[in-house]
Amino acid sequence: MRINANYRNIKDSYLFSTIGQKVSAYTAAHPEADVIRLGIGDVTRPLSPAVVDAMAKAARELGTAEGFHGYIPSEQGYLFLREAIADYYARRGVTLSPDEIFISDGAKSDLGNLLDLFDADNTALIPDPVYPAYVDANVMAGRRVVYCDATVENGFLPLPDEGVHADLIYICSPNNPTGAVYGREGLQKWVDYALRHDAVLLFDAAYEAFIEDPSLPRSIYEVEGAERCAIEVCSFSKMAGFTGTRCGWTVVPEALEREGMNLNRMWMRRQSTKYNGTPYVIHRAAEAVFTEEGYRQCMESIAYYKQNARIMAGTLDQLGIFYTGGVNSPYIWLRCPGGLDSWTFFDRLLEQANVVGTPGEGFGANGEGFFRLTAFNTREKTAEAMQRFERLARSL
Ligand code: MLT
């Protein structure tokens, strides 16, 4: 028996697990500490009433002979939710068939599972810094990874370099962790590059609902040619508070083919073999997000989080600390005060201010010296955390 030796090439623990362990160790040693968590992007607002009503109704339905549902008719997901998602795209001029939409238990699973469609002997191009699951999932499969630098100079929005060949390209926009969002021109450059290189673009749109500038694309399919080179992954987690409820979707266009194989058929084949589908109750809850009332309620929560981001930005402005994000995104990406490296600042913030954030280095080498805070906590805790942050930053 041989284990997958690629696991030797990743860190022992995933970024957010490492942070969780450090925080648990700290709270065990200091049970009196009132620790405020602005680390992992977990939401705090309750599910919206429209979502809860739909979920409760679906649960009751399952308790009746007529309304009971067993295995779902297609692992791709119930048609009613795929149609609701297609309609959501249609509102901004993107035409998708429900057959191109696959319901999942969240973006993270699909972003990893999609790699089943591609040979290990491929090169993945991944921005640095970015959501760490992309790199880890590729290294686990033994794939080559090359990076493109997201820096202050390029506004954290790197563009393709023709001299670098890639087969798989990751784009996260709005970006986790920097909050930077590509405009149409930038995305067009990536799509054109992917088409020229016969590559496939994996577009992570998990934060699209935070985009408030109507000129910014919320889907890669707003860009010409994307249906021939891009897979889009999206999630109800941040849009509707489903981090614990678990639901997302993936779009694999019918037009996406490589080496004579249709990727939509391949993904269907993969899912029907390895996934038994998202629960009926969760489908109904997710469907309610797209009703007029449900969507308005979800957008109220997003507005609440954005107000938190404004409070955080206000403190950083007063301190004269460089930061980005917080406008079209729930994350603020800042330079560590006092010139500290990102893990040292993490420790100081935890130990001296009892506030948890995420060290920039955890998102890639270019994140060294930076730090991420999320706007997903409550108003009161965010304000309190920023007062503590200010006191610490002034002392450095
Ligand atoms: C984050 O904090 O980056 C996200 O919450 C992680 C995730 O969505 O899996």
pLDDT tens-digit profile of 96-136?
999 999 999 999 999 999 999 999 999 999 999 999 999 99
Pocket residue to mutate for ligand 1, from 18, 111, 130, 131, most atoms within 8 A of Cβ: 131
Q: Quick one: 340 and 391 in the same domain? A: yes
Nearest to 230 by CA among 147, 277, 169: 169
Q: Report residue 373: phi and psi, to 5°.
A: -120, 140
Q: Quick one: 186 and 103 in the same domain? A: yes
Query: pTM value?
Result: 0.97
Residue 5 lies in a domain: no
pLDDT grade, residue 319 (50/70/90)?
very high
Q: Percentage of the chain with pLDDT > 70?
A: 100
Q: Atom 4, ligand 1: which residue's CA is nearest?
A: 41
Q: Quick one: 259 and 303 in the same domain? A: no
Q: Percentage of the chain with pLDDT > 90?
A: 98
In the prediction, which pLDDT does 113 show? 97
Q: Quick one: 26 and 148 in the same domain? A: no
Last residue of a domain, one of 253, 270, 291: 291
For residue 195, CA distances in Å to 165, 254, 285, 305 come to 12, 16, 37, 37
Q: Quick one: 154 and 87 in the same domain? A: yes
Average pLDDT over residues 16-32: 96
Q: Quick one: 26 and 71 in the same domain? A: no
Q: Which residues line ligand 1 (CB under 6 A)?
A: 40-41, 108, 131, 176
CB burial of 139-169 (b: ≥16 within 10 Å; e: otherwise) equals bbbebebebbebeeeeebbbebeeeeebbbb
Q: What CATH number is given to the structural domain containing 371?
A: 3.90.1150.10
Taking the C-alpha atoms of residue 30 and residue 35, their distance in angstroms, rounded to an integer, is: 10
DSSP 336: P
Cα end-to-end span (Å), the chain: 53
Range of the domain at 27: 12-41+294-395
Atom in ligand 1 nearest the alpha carbon of residue 39 = 2
Last residue of a domain, one of 231, 259, 291: 291
In the prediction, which pLDDT does 12 show? 84
Q: Quick one: 116 and 129 in the same domain? A: yes
pLDDT in tens, 214-249: 999 999 999 999 999 999 999 999 999 999 999 999
**Rg for the chain (alpha carbons), in Å?**
21
Q: Quick one: 238 and 298 in the same domain? A: no
Residue 4 lies in a domain: no
Residue 3 lies in a domain: no
Our CA dihedral for 151, 41, 188, 368, rounded to 10 degrees, sits at 10
Residue 6 lies in a domain: no
Last residue of a domain, one of 291, 310, 332: 291
What is the number of structural domains in the chain? Answer: 2
Distance from the alpha carbon of residue 60 to the mean position of ligand 1, in angstroms: 32
Residue 1 lies in a domain: no
Pocket residue to mutate for ligand 1, from 14, 15, 18, 40, most atoms within 8 A of Cβ: 40
